[in-house]
Structure 1
Amino acid sequence: MKKILFVASEAVPFIKTGGLADVVGALPKCFDKNYFDVRVIIPKYMCMKEEFKNQLQYVTHFYMDIGYRREYVGIMQMEYDGVQFYFIDNEYYFSGYQPYGDIRFDIEKFAFFSKAALSILPVIDFRPDVIHCHDWQTGLIPVYLKDRFQEGTFYQGIKTIMTIHNLKFQGTWDIKTIRELTGLPAYYFTPDKLESYKDGNLLKGGLVYADAITTVSNTYAEEIKTEFYGEKLDGLLRARAHDLRGIVNGIDYDEYNPETDRMIAKNYNAKTFRKEKVKNKTALQSELGLNQDPKAMMIGIVSRLTDQKGLDLIAYVMDELCQDAIQLVVLGTGEERYENMFRHFAWKYQGKVSANIFYDNALSHRIYASCDAFLMPSLFEPCGLSQLMSLRYGTIPIVRETGGLKDTVEPYNEFESTGTGFSFTNYSANEMLSMIRYAESVYYDKKREWNKLIDRAMAKDYSWSNSANQYEEMYNWLIGS
């Protein structure tokens, strides 16, 4: 039995701020339980849902040195969906209203978390063959493993994988502070290790010391070796190119299933969508105060409202787009200028634009089920989950060809009648607008072609089982069997 340990800063259903939580919550339960014992360690945040906090069982506690402090390390556990989760408890670090806040304190908090995650292993009597680390919050684990944890035999030979979910976030601060917080000697703070442009960089430490590196799509794995996408670590990623691979994320096909989804107005599947899908649209029009018109092309956006997501492109052509025969439904929060921009257009084009400037999981399901097309013009997108959810619900994605969007959305070809969505190449508002208008023309003038697009979209399989197979193969390769 091969033992795999996931360590991460968030996991559904316990705590979630982004796609990382979906991966850590959904992937571990997809491995073949006859061959893999996969467990997960996350922090026990005070801001977790009460229902879960009340189910945690206390295991034990001890005290640990971190920098110049001695800190309490509590261990709690619970089984969820057949997977064993461990929670590291410390009120000083994890009592905030949200998982992340001030980056200086976050660096200290996750230095503590990384060291604690390694320290509890003998206590819970679990010696993993592979520790699978996620994003900068766990970047110190491969470093600590090479440094502090080599005395005695317990930790020797444990392999590590570093998965990059978004290279933009790296955990950087000045070297003096990071040395004090981590207790690591000066030896580690050189340009070939944790130093990056005169600062200490936790993600870089993980990328230097991990045995393998993955990221969440093949295209993104290639992109981050270039200067434009490499966030100043492209040189290191080129140097480690033979240890770097892309594995596309999946989505939970039980949770996102138009046939059984309880959050949507009318269930449907690949056979019945022609009659039933539109009933979701008319229900959403009535819920959000849009003009009641089952034939109007409805475009959805469910997103963080930031530059990364291509919102500046949308802002640039928004007035023009609203002249078209479309309806636009937006859900999400982010930069104030984009929140206000959508509010303005919802006021200016009442009945055509609905701006929902908050986050609501149930409403996101209704948008995926109701819309005809889904707009995602990202500047960069390591994997992207929204386009996978759209495909699952037969809502045709309109995306920019970058990262995971390029890997998962096949562009429509009218001559061969192939493809599952529409895509444009350059980061250009005009190119995006002309692609949206091309999609409109297919939707309005070639209904049979549009329905075939939906057939192909709903036939795609981006469930986790596919990704899990590729991770299993990598674990076997690392362990050497």
Structure 2
Amino acid sequence: MKKILFATSEAVPFIKTGGLADVAGALPKCFDKQYFDVRVVLPKYACMKQEWKDKMQYMTHFYMDLGFKNCYVGIMHLEYDGIQFYFIDNEYYFSGPKPYDSGPWDLEKFAFFSKAVLSILPVIDFRPDIIHCHDWQTGLVPVYLHDSFQAGEFFRGIKTVMTIHNLKFQGVWDVKTVKDITGLSDYYFTPDKLEAYKDANYLKGGIVFADAVTTVSNTYAEEIKTPFYGERLEGLMCARSNSLRGIVNGIDYEEYNPQTDPFIAKQYNAVTFRKEKVKNKLALQRELGLDEDSSVMMLGIVSRLTDQKGFDLIAYVMDELCQDAVQIVVLGTGDERYENMFRHFDWKYHGKVSANIYYSEPMSHKIYASADAFLMPSLFEPCGLSQLMSLRYGTVPIVRETGGLKDTVQPYNEYESTGTGFSFTNYNAHEMLGVIRNAERIYYDKKREWNKIIDRAMAADFSWNHSAAQYEEMYNWLIGE
């Protein structure tokens, strides 16, 4: 039995700010339980829902040194969906109103968490073959394992995997502060280890000391070796390219299932969508005060409203796009200028544009089920989950060919009648608009072709099982079997 420990700063259903939580919560359930014992450790945040805190059981506590401090480490435990979850408790570090704050405070918080992840192992009597670390928040786990934990027989031979969900976030602060926080010696703060451009970098430490590095799609794994996508670590990514692989994320096919989805007005499947899907559109038009018209093409957007997601392109052609026979439904929060841009167009083209500047899980499901097409013109996208959800709901994705979008959406070919969506290559607003208009043309003039795109989209399989098999293969390779 191979033992794997996921170390993560968030996991559904306990705490979520982004796609990392979906991965850490859904992926462990998909491993073959005959061969793999996968457990998860994360912080016990004060801002978790009370219902989860009430279900946790106190195991034990002890004290651990971190830099100049002596810290309390409490261990709570909960079994959920057949998976053992451990929660590291320390009110000093995890009491804020949200999981992440900023600056040196987050760096100290996650240095504590990374060291605690290792410190609890003998206490909970679980010696993993592999610790699978996710993003910069756990970047110090491989570093500490290499450093102060090598003295103990217990820790020798434990392997580490570092998964990069988004290379943009690295956990960077000045060397002196990080040295004081972590208690690591000067040895670690050199350009071939944690130091990068005169600062200390948690993610870099994780990448340097991990036994294997993964990211969340094949294309992104190649892109991050180049200056444009490499976020100043492209040299390191090239140096580690032998140990780097891309494994695309999945989505939870139980949770995102148009046949059983409790949030949508009319459930449907790959056979019944031709008659039933449109009833969701009419219900959403009514709910949001859009013109009620079953034949109009509805474009959905569910996203953080940031530059990374391509909203500068949308802003540039939004007025032109609103001249077309389309409705646009937006859900999300983010940069004020994009929030206000959508509010403006909602006011200017009321009945055509609906700006929902908040986040709601039920509303996101309604948009996936109601829209005809889903717009996702990202500047870069390590994996992306929204396009996978729209494929699942038979909502045709319109994406830019980058990262996971390129790996998961097959562009429509009119002559061969293949493809599951529409895509464009260059980061250019009018190239995007041209592709949207091509999609409109197929939608209005070639309805049978459009329905065949939906058939292929709903037949695509991006459930977690496929990805889990690739992780299993990597684990076996690391353990040497």
Specify the TM-score bucket, using the shorter chain as the normaliser.
Answer: over 0.9
> Residues of 2 paired with 1:103 and 1:110: CA distance?
11
**Partner in structure 1 of residue 5 of structure 2:** 5
Paired letter, 1:27: L
**Correspondence list, 1:456-467, <5 A:** 456-467=456-467
**Partner in structure 2 of residue 216 of structure 1:** 216
Q: Residue 343 of structure 2 aligns to a residue in which SS?
A: helix
Paired letter, 2:6: F
> Residues of 2 paired with 1:317 and 1:152: CA distance?
61
Deviation digits for residues 70-98 of structure 1 (CA, Å, limit 9, x no counterpart): 11100000000000000000000000000
**Partner in structure 1 of residue 80 of structure 2:** 80
> Residues of 2 paired with 1:318 and 1:66: CA distance?
51
Deviation at 1:40, TM superposition (A): 0.2
Deviation at 1:234, TM superposition (A): 0.3
**Partner in structure 1 of residue 140 of structure 2:** 140
> Residues of 2 paired with 1:3 and 1:200: CA distance?
31
Q: Residue 404 of structure 1 aligns to a residue in which SS?
A: helix
> Residues of 2 paired with 1:104 and 1:276: CA distance?
52
Q: Residue 54 of structure 1 aligns to a residue in which SS?
A: helix
Pair 1:426-2:437 in alignment: no
> Residues of 1 paired with 2:7 and 2:82: CA distance?
17
> Residues of 2 paired with 1:306 and 1:350: CA distance?
23
Q: Residue 149 of structure 2 aligns to a residue in which SS?
A: helix
Pair 1:291-2:312 in alignment: no
Q: Residue 248 of structure 1 aligns to a residue in which SS?
A: coil
> Residues of 1 paired with 2:103 and 2:271: CA distance?
49
**Correspondence list, 1:116-155, <5 A:** 116-155=116-155
Deviation digits for residues 47-86 of structure 1 (CA, Å, limit 9, x no counterpart): 0011101100000000111111111100000000000000
Structure 2 unmatched ranges of 5 or more: none
Deviation digits for residues 419-460 of structure 1 (CA, Å, limit 9, x no counterpart): 000000000000000000000000000000000000000000
Q: Residue 38 of structure 1 aligns to a residue in which SS?
A: strand
> Residues of 1 paired with 2:86 and 2:206: CA distance?
22
Paired letter, 1:233: L
**Partner in structure 1 of residue 22 of structure 2:** 22
Q: Percent identity?
A: 78
Pair 1:349-2:313 in alignment: no
> Residues of 2 paired with 1:133 and 1:144: CA distance?
13
**Partner in structure 1 of residue 333 of structure 2:** 333
Deviation digits for residues 399-422 of structure 1 (CA, Å, limit 9, x no counterpart): 000000000000000000000000
Deviation digits for residues 173-192 of structure 1 (CA, Å, limit 9, x no counterpart): 00000000000000000000
Q: Residue 155 of structure 2 aligns to a residue in which SS?
A: coil
Deviation digits for residues 10-54 of structure 1 (CA, Å, limit 9, x no counterpart): 000000000000000000000000000000000000000111011
> Residues of 1 paired with 2:77 and 2:423: CA distance?
45
**Correspondence list, 1:380-459, <5 A:** 380-459=380-459
Deviation digits for residues 180-216 of structure 1 (CA, Å, limit 9, x no counterpart): 0000000000000000000000000000000000000
> Residues of 1 paired with 2:213 and 2:152: CA distance?
27
Deviation at 1:152, TM superposition (A): 2.0
> Residues of 2 paired with 1:148 and 1:203: CA distance?
19
**Correspondence list, 1:166-177, <5 A:** 166-177=166-177
**Partner in structure 1 of residue 321 of structure 2:** 321
**Partner in structure 1 of residue 370 of structure 2:** 370
**Correspondence list, 1:227-306, <5 A:** 227-306=227-306
> Residues of 2 paired with 1:54 and 1:339: CA distance?
37
> Residues of 2 paired with 1:366 and 1:111: CA distance?
40
> Residues of 1 paired with 2:192 and 2:151: CA distance?
24
Pair 1:54-2:54 in alignment: yes
Paired letter, 1:275: K
Paired letter, 2:138: T
> Residues of 2 paired with 1:396 and 1:14: CA distance?
31
**Partner in structure 2 of residue 190 of structure 1:** 190
> Residues of 2 paired with 1:152 and 1:457: CA distance?
52
Deviation digits for residues 233-280 of structure 1 (CA, Å, limit 9, x no counterpart): 000000010000000000000000000001100000000000000000
Q: Residue 206 of structure 2 aligns to a residue in which SS?
A: helix
> Residues of 1 paired with 2:104 and 2:287: CA distance?
43
Paired letter, 1:224: I
Deviation digits for residues 286-338 of structure 1 (CA, Å, limit 9, x no counterpart): 00000000000000000000000000000000000000000000000000000
Paired letter, 1:3: K
Deviation digits for residues 122-165 of structure 1 (CA, Å, limit 9, x no counterpart): 00000000000000000000000000101121000000000000
Paired letter, 2:480: G
> Residues of 2 paired with 1:308 and 1:24: CA distance?
23
Q: Residue 181 of structure 2 aligns to a residue in which SS?
A: helix
**Partner in structure 1 of residue 42 of structure 2:** 42
Runs of 4+ in 1 over 2 A off after TM superposition: none
> Residues of 1 paired with 2:75 and 2:441: CA distance?
58
> Residues of 2 paired with 1:313 and 1:196: CA distance?
32
Deviation at 1:104, TM superposition (A): 1.1
> Residues of 1 paired with 2:152 and 2:229: CA distance?
41
> Residues of 2 paired with 1:152 and 1:58: CA distance?
26
Paired letter, 2:44: K
**Correspondence list, 1:154-173, <5 A:** 154-173=154-173
**Correspondence list, 1:303-314, <5 A:** 303-314=303-314
Deviation at 1:103, TM superposition (A): 2.2
Deviation at 1:360, TM superposition (A): 0.1
> Residues of 2 paired with 1:206 and 1:333: CA distance?
31
Q: Residue 148 of structure 1 aligns to a residue in which SS?
A: coil
Deviation digits for residues 366-388 of structure 1 (CA, Å, limit 9, x no counterpart): 00000000000000000000000
> Residues of 2 paired with 1:13 and 1:294: CA distance?
35
> Residues of 2 paired with 1:62 and 1:288: CA distance?
53
Give me the TM-score of the superposition, normalised by structure 2: 1.00
* Pairwise CA RMSD: 0.3
Deviation at 1:102, TM superposition (A): 1.6
